[in-house]
Structure 1
Amino acid sequence: MSRLNSIMRRLAAQRDGLEWGHALVADVAGDYVDMGLGNGRTYDHLREIAPDRRIWVIDRILQCHPSCVPPEQDFLQGEAEEMLKKLAASGAKIVLAHYDFGFGEKEKDVAEAARLSPMIADCMAPGGVLISGQPLAGFEQVRGPETVAPDRYCFYRS
């Protein structure tokens, strides 16, 4: 598969996964979190499909498109471990989480996702939905949307 086709498949999986997860928790009170702001595309999509939700954002640096800058009070800037602990301590009830942290090296990314999983769990409301490009540990893996190949993206319930 070409790199172009691979990125198109990944982005479609993100979109479909976010919309699937949002539908599952549409009637559940709580906040969302986007872990890994990057350019801001995923955050922007979350704002579009869930305009009434508070969407927390975690990233090391703010370097997104100017139209995708989160409100200052919702942006947790710093290393993931510290920011996840800060989010858990805030008392936020996270019902939908998108995990997109990464170094661009598969082995390192998988290890980081496993290491951060317990801290993510501390932020999640029971029955919350997690959508992730990397395997997470300690959550119930579920089948995501039918449009997403099982090996393309990971879906969990807390």
Structure 2
Amino acid sequence: MSRLDSMLRRLTAQRDGLNWAAEQIAELDGDVLDMGLGNGRTYDHLREILPDRRIWVMDRVLQCHPSCVPPEQDFLQGEAEPMLERLAQGGPRIALAHYDFGMGIKEEDVSEAARLSPLIARVMKPGGLLISGQPLVGFEQIPGPDTIAPDRYLFYRA
């Protein structure tokens, strides 16, 4: 598979997974967390499909497209551990989390996801959903939408 086809497959899976998850949490109160703002595509999509939810955004630096800059009070800038600790101080509030941290080195990305999983668990509401391109630990893995290959995106319930 070409890198272009692989990218299209990943972005389609991401979009389909987010749309599916938004429907799944319709009856669950809580905020949304986008871990890894990047250029802001995912955040922008979350704003569109969940307009009535507060969306927390976390990243080391703010370098997204100008149209995708989150409100200052919702942007947690810095390393993941202290930002998750800060968010956890308010108690479990996240109904939907999207995990998109990583450097593109599979072994390191998997290790980081495993290391951050207990901190992520502290911010998740019981029954909340997590969507991730990396395996997370300590959550119940669930099937996502049928349109997504099981190895492309992972779905979890807190």
Measured against the shorter chain, the TM-score band is over 0.9
Residue type of the alignment partner of 2:157: R
Tell me the residue number matched to 1:137.
137
Q: Show CA shifts across 1:75-98 (max 9, x none).
A: 000000110111111335100000
Deviation, 1:27, is: 1.7
1:104 aligns with 2:104: yes
Which deviates further from its counterpart, 84-93 or 24-33? 84-93
Tell me the residue number matched to 2:4.
4
What is the TM-score with the length of structure 1 in the denominator? Answer: 0.99
Tell me how large the CA RMSD over aligned residues is: 0.7
Q: What SS does structure 1 have at the residue aligned with 2:97?
A: strand
What is the TM-score with the length of structure 2 in the denominator? Answer: 0.99
1:117 aligns with 2:127: no
Q: Is the 8 A contact 1:102 1:109 kept in 2?
A: yes
Deviation, 1:136, is: 0.2
Q: Show CA shifts across 1:33-91 (max 9, x none).
A: 00000000000000000001000000000000000000000000000011011111133
Tell me the residue number matched to 2:16.
16
Q: What SS does structure 1 have at the residue aligned with 2:136?
A: coil
Q: What SS does structure 1 have at the residue aligned with 2:95?
A: strand
Q: Is the 8 A contact 2:28 2:128 kept in 1?
A: no
Tell me the residue number matched to 1:35.
35
Q: Is the 8 A contact 1:33 1:97 kept in 2?
A: yes
Tell me, in whole angstroms, the C-alpha distance in 1 between the residues paired with 2:89 and 2:34.
17
Tell me, in whole angstroms, the C-alpha distance in 2 between the residues paired with 1:95 and 1:44.
18
Q: What SS does structure 1 have at the residue aligned with 2:109?
A: helix
Tell me, in whole angstroms, the C-alpha distance in 2 between the residues paired with 1:44 and 1:112.
25
Number of aligned positions between the proteins: 158
Residue type of the alignment partner of 2:98: H
Residue type of the alignment partner of 2:2: S
Q: Is the 8 A contact 1:31 1:92 kept in 2?
A: no
